[in-house]
Amino acid sequence: MKRIELTPSMFRGTVSLEQTEDGVKPWRIPYREYPLFPPDGLGHTAEMAAGVRMRFSSDTTEAAIELAPSEAARKLDLVCGDGLPQSLTLQPGESIATFAGLSEGEKLIELYLPQHAPAIVRSLRIEAGASWHVPEDSRPKWIAYGSSITQCAGAFSPSRTWPAIVARRFGLDLTCLGYGGNCHLEPMVARMIRDREADVIFLCAGINIYGGGGSLSRRTFRAAMIGFVQIIREKHPDTPIALLSPIWAPRCEDTCNALGFTLREMRTEIEEAAGSLAACGDRHVRYIDGLTIFGPELAAYLPDQLHPDGTGYTLMGQSVGDIVMEPLVRQYGLGATDIEMEPLVRQYEFGATDIEMEPPVRQYGLGATD
C-alpha cells in the first residue's frame, strides 16, 4: 500500500488542524486560541473528533488509516458514497485500522474519526496502483452545537450519531460542535459559529446549563440564548437557526437544580427566546420542542435517564430529520429534498428488516407490527 498526502481539504467537520510531531490533529475550536475557551478547551472536549471525517475519492478496494496510539478503545467508520458504514475498533495501544473489500471503481470515501476521543492522524494508505483525489465539497454547510447528546459518545459508531445520520440523509457538510458537559452558551463559541460558513445552524442547549450546579439562572438563561443568536446573526442574518430544547430527562423535568430551575421551565424559556427574536424581526429562527424529538415514550433507549443509547441516537436521527431538517431543506433549498431514506432497521442492523419504517417502526416497537 502507498501513503497519500494528508491535505487540509481532506478533513471535514474541523474548525482547525494542528500539525504535531505525531501527525495531524483535528480540533473543534481554533486551537491557537485554546486559552479563550476555558476550562481547558471546553473541558478537553474540543479536541475530540466528533463529526470529523476524512473525505476523498479513489478506486482503491482497501484503505488504511493510522492514528497515534491511545489508552482508550476507538471506533472508526468508513462509508463509500451512500453505502452502509464499515466499522472497526482500535483497541488500546493499536494504531492502524484497515478497511478491505471496498467496491471496484472510483467512489467517494469518508473515514469517520472517533466521536468520543482525540485523534491524531499519522497516515492514510490506499492500494499501490490506485488513484485518488480530493473532490470539491459543494454541499450545504450545517453547524450543530450542543452537549454530550450532540456529541453522541454512546452511538453505535461515529457515522451513526444523530447529526451524522441527518447529514448523510440530506447531503449536508456537517460540523458537529457537541461538547460533552460544556454547552453553556459561551460567547466565544457564538463568535466562532458567527465566523464560519453555514447554510443552516442548530443550537441544542439547556441540559448542561441545568446540570453542573446550574451555570445560568432563570434570570440569565433566556438573555444568554438571545445574545448567542444575535452574535451569530451579525454575519448570518438570513441563515435558518433552529433552537432545540432538551430531550426528555426524567430526573430533571420537575426537579429544581441548584438555582431553582427545572428542565420543563428551561424549555419554556427557549421558546420565549425564539418568540422574542421573531417579534423583533428574525424571520429565520425556529423553536423545536425537544420532547417531540425524544420523549418519554422512548424511555427504553435512555439507560442512564439522560443520554440515549445507540438505538436512541438512531431514532433521534430520524426524528430530527423528519421534524426539523426536512422542512428547512425544502423551505431553503438545501441539500437533497426527495430522499428515500433506507429503513433504519436495515441500515443500522437492529430489529426486523422486511418492513417499512414509518413513524419510527410504528412508535418505536423496532420490529414488525403486522
What pLDDT score was predicted for residue 213?
A: 75
How many residues in the chain? 370
**129 in helix, strand or coil?**
coil
Look up residue 129 and give its three cell numbers.
496502483
**Do the Cβ atoms of 215 and 184 come closer than 8 Å?**
yes
Cell numbers describing residue 356? 417499512
Q: Which three cell numbers stand for residue 148?
A: 454530550
Cβ neighbors of 243 (< 8 A, separation 6 or more) are 203, 205, 225, 229, 270, 273, 274, 285, 286, 287, 288
CB 206 within 8 A of CB 246: yes
Q: What is the pLDDT of residues 127-145, one digit of tens each?
A: 999 999 999 999 999 999 9
Residue whose cell numbers read 421534524: 323
Residue 212 confidence (pLDDT): 74
What's the CA gap between 149 and 182, in Å, rounded?
11
Identical fold between 7-133 and 141-332: no
Stretches in the chain below the pLDDT threshold 70:
336-370
For 207-266, the DSSP string reads HHHHSTT-SS-HHHHHHHHHHHHHHHHTT-TTS-EEEEPP---TTTSS---TTS--HHHH
Per-residue pLDDT, 335: 72
pLDDT at 293: 98
- State the DSSP string of 16-35: EEEEETTEEEEESS-GGGGG
**C-alpha cell read off for 91:** 483497541
Amino acid occupying residue 316: M
Res 366: pLDDT: 40
List the beta bridge partners of residue 63: 99, 126
Domain boundaries, the chain: 7-133, 141-332
Element (H, E) at 177: strand 173-178
Q: What gap in Å lies between CA 99 and CA 357, rounded to an integer?
A: 30
Assign domain 141-332 to its CATH superfamily. SGNH hydrolase (3.40.50.1110)
CATH of domain 7-133: 2.60.120.260
Could you give the CA distance from residue 5 to residue 72 in angstroms, rounded to a whole number? 27
pLDDT of residue 277: 98
Q: How far apart are CA 230 and CA 238, in angstroms?
A: 12
Strand partners, 79: 110
Instruction: Give the per-residue pLDDT at 337.
Output: 52
